[in-house]
Amino acid sequence: MRKQLFILAASLSVTVAALAQNNQKMKPEETEVYTPVPPIVTPGNTPQDAPSDAVILFDGKNLDQWRMTNDTTQAANWDVSDGILTVKKKGSGNIETKQRFMDYQLHIEWRIPANITGSGQARGNSGVFLASTGKGDGGYEMQVLDCYGNTTYTNGQTAAIYKQSVPLANACKKPGEWQTYDIVWTAPRFNADGTVKSPARVTAFHNGVLVQNNYELAGQTLYIGHPSYTAHGASPIKLQAHGDSSEPISFRNIWIRPL
């Protein structure tokens, strides 16, 4: 046995030595590649400005890129004025992009009204669904809420992946101030039989602070019950008209870079 171990150890060290010797024979150029060539992208003047290759989802003028979620033949009917999009809570519903996306980088700005009232989940509740999988709240929600001094279940607070992932920080600004989400989304992949090939992943910054670090989702975000996946492909991005009675929140400067 000892002899066998000795032979094994000896042959391993020979292999390691051979590899090292082989590396010594290599030229630096042998591990240098020239394709693919990354495209040149001119950054915006500030980190918030859309870079040159972004798809503009809302530039303050209109909702041409959006439609109603529950009746996708209808134009999005939330309020647009002074360059700002405000959730319409009554007689409306969620809105979603006409375009569908897989993997992307998303920038979105939102503002809780300065006169916000309510507490817990009923204080400026909205949400960014990173992929909408159907009517209502189907999909994967990153929570939008006022948690500046407001407490709730932490996996439902601002920047949580709703009821799945507590944010790494509470980076909330005061109501009345504009806030940013910068989100990197990797869509889930499914096998032909509908089983999960690779789950969704998300990395996100709230006001520039890392709040989700390559978090792997267990499935769609549900209000009740444990998350699970149902197979889907490229999906719209959806904004939530939450049914609570607090003042509606606003959005601006929404852009996306499909990856």
Interface residue with Mg ion, options 93, 124, 127, 138 (CB under 5 A) = 127
Do 136 and 130 touch, CB atoms closer than 8 A?
Answer: no
Taking the C-alpha atoms of residue 163 and residue 222, their distance in angstroms, rounded to an integer, is 7
Q: Is 125 in the site for Mg ion (CB under 5 A)?
A: yes
Give Cβ neighbours of residue 2 (< 8 Å, ≥ 6 apart): none
- Span of 39-47, 119-127, 168-176, 244-252 interacting with Mg ion by CB under 5 A: 119-127
What the block records as the tokens of 228 is 């699970």
Q: Smallest gap, in angstroms, from Cβ of residue 167 to Mg ion?
A: 14
Q: Smallest gap, in angstroms, from Cβ of residue 125 to Mg ion?
A: 5
> Per-residue string for binding with Mg ion, 237-256, x by CB under 5 A?
---x----------------
Q: Which is nearer to Mg ion, 232 or 242 (CB)?
A: 242
- Span of 9-17, 121-129, 190-198, 212-220 interacting with Mg ion by CB under 5 A: 121-129
Q: Smallest gap, in angstroms, from Cβ of residue 64 to Mg ion?
A: 25
Q: Smallest gap, in angstroms, from Cβ of residue 247 to Mg ion?
A: 15
Taking the C-alpha atoms of residue 20 and residue 125, their distance in angstroms, rounded to an integer, is 59
Taking the C-alpha atoms of residue 182 and residue 250, their distance in angstroms, rounded to an integer, is 17
Q: Which is nearer to Mg ion, 54 or 150 (CB)?
A: 150
Do 163 and 227 touch, CB atoms closer than 8 A?
Answer: yes
Taking the C-alpha atoms of residue 230 and residue 23, their distance in angstroms, rounded to an integer, is 47
Strand partners, 256: 55, 106
Task: Return residues touching Mg ion (CB under 5 A).
Answer: 125, 127, 240
